[in-house]
Amino acid sequence: MRSTIWPPACATRSTACRCRDRIIRVLPKIYAEDHPGQRSFDILTIHTRGSLRIQKPSGAPVFDPGGHMSLVRLGLLGPLEVLVDRVRLDCLHQPKQQAVFAMMAANNGRTVPIADLIGGVWGEGSPPSALSALRNYMSSLRTMLRRHGFGQDALRWAGGGYRFDATLEIDAAAVERFLVSAEAARGSGRLDLAADSIRAGLRLWRGEALSGVPGPWAAGERARLHRSRETLRRWAIEISIDQGNHEAAIAQLEALVHAEPQSEQWRILLMTALFRAGRRIDALEVYRATRDWFIDTMGLEPSPAMTELHQHILTGEAVAAGALAPAAVSAPARPVPSQLPPDTIDFTGRTAELAQVTAALAPGRAVSVVALTGMGGVGKTALAVHVGHRVQDRFPDGRLYVDLRPADGPPEAAEVLAGFLRALGVAEAEIPAGGAERSALFRTVARGKRLLVLLDNATCAEQVTPLLPASAGCAVLVTARTPMTALPVARRVRLAPMEPAEAAELFTRIVADARPAAEPQAVRRVVALCGGLPLAIRIIAARLVTRPGWMIADEADRLGAERDGLQQFRFRDTSLESAFQSAYDQLGPELAHAFRTLARLDRPDATVAAVAAALGCDPGEAVRLCDALVDRGMLDSPAPGRYRFHDLVRVFARSRPDSEALAAVRRSTGFPGAPSPVILGCAQCSG
């Protein structure tokens, strides 16, 4: 990490103190403005002797008073161009490599999911080799970046995708800023200032945006940036007309009409410029010629905007440039929020549930709420996120996401709503303080929009209700372990553990080498020992990916021999136990005691009578407690009056110490010894 000590040793003490205090006040603000998303206080360290170290956070250039800051410029407004300190990097030769780098750089500071990268570069029907090609491109890009002074982590793998972190100056972003400043200046009547911003924006173009860069993402960016360029060109001409530069505008518009005869906006502006220049007959002739051309070539009459302008000219009414222009080209809107987590590239199975949820999320006459429920580790979040990406085109105004049960505790509804409102463009000063007021404002802002809201890991209907939009065209997808019966939903879909064939397919896709095909019986054993839970399968498969020399049969033997709870179902920061623990922590003392006690019954399932005997209560109370555990995804009920644990949930429950529960089981069964351990090697897993 490079750093600079300030002030220099030659400075006097009073001067040094003043310099230091001013830097402490000002530098973090400057850094925060120029580097949104990075913590400005990371760059300052105050030493005990009063000196100040200005240091470089990972992936950021050094700010050195009196020194040098490396500046990286990315050019999208023409052939792809990358400059470091004004020196062009001439090392991106392959078109698809250009597409990958452009897509990563344009998403600087954000993780881009693998699925988005493959879709953006190769499109639908991408070849099987796309993933390996992408990895090769990333490897060569990392080498190139390190060679040109970027940090080790500038381009890195980050939870389901790749992330690029660097301080960039992107010409396309500058154009957006010029558009905003031009619009503001024009709205306040400062036409000279608006014209300066427009000219500065137009000068940035070097040709067609992302020229020669392949793929759907580049094509979409080209279209978006072309619209921005057309907006600047149109505003430049409108301002020229409003400033009285009629003849120059007329000459420019005549050339544009000749080059783009199908563009009505240029013809409308030409009529306006001619009329404002006192050439009324010529303006009417443009209308007549346009009408004839449209009817002859397209069978259409001119638009209402052109017809209205024609009437203004006939009656001699004054008209401002752009006042009647069609709305086909306008200033770019505020970025649409797209907060969904990265999709799972190896998502497998769940065909029926996928179809049900996808169909239920179709925008209709009322807001559509879909609840996706099931036990911990069964794959609710993965399915919900996969569906969200699949239907995102139905919701062009935004996709909002929040985890309602993060590691540091559930957020308040008011906090979640503030985040939603900011994402939808509400200024901080306009967000009310109260939760109810924020909920009302959220529904107001969402009115008329087509939004998808994904509320992940909800615990109760009361937590969800304030976060629901109320407008037709919006949809809400809720994941929860409880059935959310108090929530008015269009559809409830309960996820069960995966069938053996689906589970084996998921395991095979994650391991992604020759071992599953060579050891099909071992694969079946492993997924059976995982109880069909996608989280458990992913943990075991991920461990095998990092141990290519292991046989799957060896891992199956390890799982079958496990007698220490769920320790084998842990890989790096992910564990099955934590998924179960979060549900267990939500049980009250009464339910937690029942959960631990029933798990110690040495039988595959239990009747109401057996439960009542173990708990020392009447049958009605036993049914109430068991049903509450079923609703929370901690117990199954395969038939009325019968209850069963998922094998791995039973292991978890038995690992919770409870001498009182053990004594209760001994009393109810008349057996003085401890219950036998659960047999993890059973071939048939309950669900």
SS3 assignment for 31-79:
HHHHCCCCCHHHHEEECCCCCEEEECCCCCCCCCCCCCCCCEEEECCCC
Residue 452's pLDDT is what? 93
The better pLDDT of the pair 69, 110 is held by 110
The tokens describing 582, both together, are 């979060």
pLDDT of residue 403: 92
pLDDT higher than 90, residue 176: no
What span, in angstroms and rounded, lies between the C-alpha atoms of 466 and 477? 14
Assign residue 68 a region: left if phi > 0, alpha if psi is -120 to 50, beta otherwise?
beta
Q: Angle at which helices 264-276 and 246-259 pack, to 10 degrees?
A: 150
pLDDT at 419: 92
CA proximity to 588, closest of 646, 628, 631 = 628
Residue 266 has pLDDT above 70, yes or no: yes
Whether the predicted pLDDT of 196 surpasses 70: yes
Q: What pLDDT score does 216 carry?
A: 86
| CA pair distance 303, 319, nearest whole angstrom | 17
Interacting residues of 489 by C-beta distance below 8 A, sequence separation 6+: 369, 370, 371, 478
Architecture per CATH, 351-494 = 3-Layer(aba) Sandwich (3.40)
CA 123 to CA 125: how far, in whole Å?
A: 6
- The CATH code for residues 245-332 is 1.25.40.10
Q: Which CATH architecture has domain 76-168?
A: Orthogonal Bundle (1.10)
Nearest CA to 210 among 100, 319, 356?
100
What integer is the mean pLDDT of 93-109? 88
On the question of pLDDT at 515 being above 50, the answer is yes
Rounded to whole angstroms, the Cα distance separating 646 from 606 reads: 13
What is the Cα–Cα distance from 579 to 379, expressed in whole angstroms? 11
Percent of the chain with pLDDT over 90: 12
Confidence of residue 304 (pLDDT cuts 50, 70, 90): confident
Position 20 confidence tier, pLDDT thresholds 50, 70, 90: very low
Q: Is residue 153 scored above 50 in pLDDT?
A: yes
Is 665 or 408 the better-scoring residue by pLDDT?
408
Both structure tokens of 648: 């791995």
State the burial class of residue 582 (Cβ atoms within 10 Å of its Cβ: 0-12, 13-18, 19+): middle
Whether 486 shows a pLDDT value over 50: the answer reads yes
Given this model, what pLDDT does residue 54 score? 43
Question: At residue 526, what is the residue type?
Answer: V
What pLDDT is recorded for position 60?
Answer: 40
Lookup result for tokens 């996608």:
534
Q: What is the mean pLDDT of residues 339-357?
A: 84
Instruction: Return the bridge partners of 6, or none.
Output: 52
Q: Mean pLDDT for the chain?
A: 78
Q: Cα 243 to chain center, whole Å? A: 45
User: Of the spans 42-51, 84-93, 123-132, 408-417, which averages the highest pLDDT?
Assistant: 408-417
The C-alpha atoms of residue 280 and residue 274 are separated, in whole angstroms, by 6
Closest CA to 508 of 535, 547, 530, 538: 538
Average pLDDT of span 101-130: 85
The token duo for 230 is 């057309």
pLDDT band at 318; cut points 50, 70, 90: low
**Residue located via tokens 């220490």:** 564
Q: According to the model, what pLDDT value does residue 684 have?
A: 30
Res. 317 pLDDT band, cuts 50 70 90: low
Most confident option among 201-215, 619-633, 651-665: 201-215
pLDDT for res 682 = 31
CA-wise closest residue to 186 among 197, 201, 177, 175: 197
For the segment 89-118, the average pLDDT, to the nearest whole number, is: 85
Q: Does residue 137 register a pLDDT over 80?
A: yes
578-669 topology per CATH: Arc Repressor Mutant, subunit A (1.10.10)
Q: Which two tokens stand for residue 583?
A: 């549900």
